[in-house]
Copies of this chain bind each other. A is one copy, B any other.
Amino acid sequence: MNEFELIAHLTEGLATRPDVLTGPGDDCAVLRMPDGRGPLLFKTDAVVEGVHFTTDTPPEKIGHKALARCLSDIAAMGGRPAHAVVTLAAPRQHDAERLSAIYRGINALANRHGVAIVGGETTSNPGGLLISIALLGTVPTGRAILRSGAKPGDALFVTGELGGSLQGRHLEFEPRVVEGAWLAERFEIHAMIDLSDGLAGDLRHILKQSGCGAEVLAKSLPISRAARLAARNESSAMPPLLAALTDGEDFELLFTVAAADAVALLDSWKTGFPKLKLTCIGKITAQPGLRIRTEDGGVRDMSEHGYAHFQES
């Protein structure tokens, strides 16, 4: 059972309420408050020593990453983050200065994004450090952007560059909160997700929940310098195109809009975010599945378990 199957299994038949507008399965839950007040976004995420960072990771960056991952999920709904609570689990023989530095990393990022840290829990964890953060956010009524709204014909966009995040970016990325809210306020974004598992995997979440397929142009993919360098310098590294499609932890935004809005959006983006790349990488199709159109004109199917079989020519 992989992580997604396990989550699906665990979240079957969970307790719910009429005020849950969107439950498990999107980037955040969307909640209407019991007295009928407008939607809140609610998300939890955790980083673990040996999995998401190492013993040698500078502690400020651990804290930064822990909060940034949650912020990225709020961004993917087009929301604004507001309040966070932090669970910090550490071995009994912990280094108080390391924990303080983690908190400094959390706090610096929180300050930049107008987030209040409103509760902290510390507990012991024999195996190593674990930081779990739950984050609340807000979004205008009816404006939360789900994964399920993509439509055939939509243009598919991605912010920034893809691949090679584990070379360093995963500890330092600035979550696309400003950009996500900007998109939600100005355009009819049909579907959006943040890239945590790799473009191909995360795009498939949109496709599955929207009931459609996609065609991605290989040559349009904004491949990061880190992914290109890794491929040049390390014989074991993935080809850059494959890295851009499958590397995790990019934390860029992937979204779809009606094709008719695509040019206006790109123009407007260049004014709003002159330093951040925005790339149209393909389109949504009625035909299910994820297809990659390669530079030689061929089309490769990137089906559910197709990573291993996909090789760059």
Please report A residues at the B interface, Cβ cutoff 8 Å.
Answer: 1, 3, 6-7, 9-11, 13-17, 19-20, 23-24, 28-29, 31, 33-35, 37-38, 40, 42-52, 80, 82-83, 85-89, 96, 99-100, 103, 107, 110-111, 114-128, 130, 132, 134, 136, 138
Contact = CB atoms under 8 A, between A and B. Distances in A.
Q: How many copies does the complex hold?
A: 2
Closest 3 CB pairs of A and B: A127-B127, A134-B134, A29-B118
Given A34-B138, A40-B33, A127-B127, A46 B132 contact: yes
Given A87-B45, A125-B125, A28 B82 contact: no
Given A7-B120, A10-B99, A45-B87, A17 B82 contact: yes
Contacts of A99: 6, 10
Given A13-B107, A123-B51, A124-B51, A42 B118 contact: yes
A125 B207 CA distance: 30
A83 B32 CA distance: 10
B10 A48 contact: no
A37 B35 CA distance: 10
Contact of A10 (B122, B127, B130): B122
Nearest to A8: B120
A135 to B, nearest CB: 9
14 contacts: A7-B122, A24-B120, A31-B82, A33-B138, A35-B38, A42-B134, A42-B136, A43-B85, A44-B86, A47-B123, A48-B125, A89-B132, A125-B125, A125-B128
A111 B15 CA distance: 6
A101 to B, nearest CB: 10
A46 B123 contact: yes
A125 to B, nearest CB: 6
Nearest to A140: B35
Contact of A100 (B9, B46, B82): B9
Contacts of A47: 123
A134 B85 contact: yes
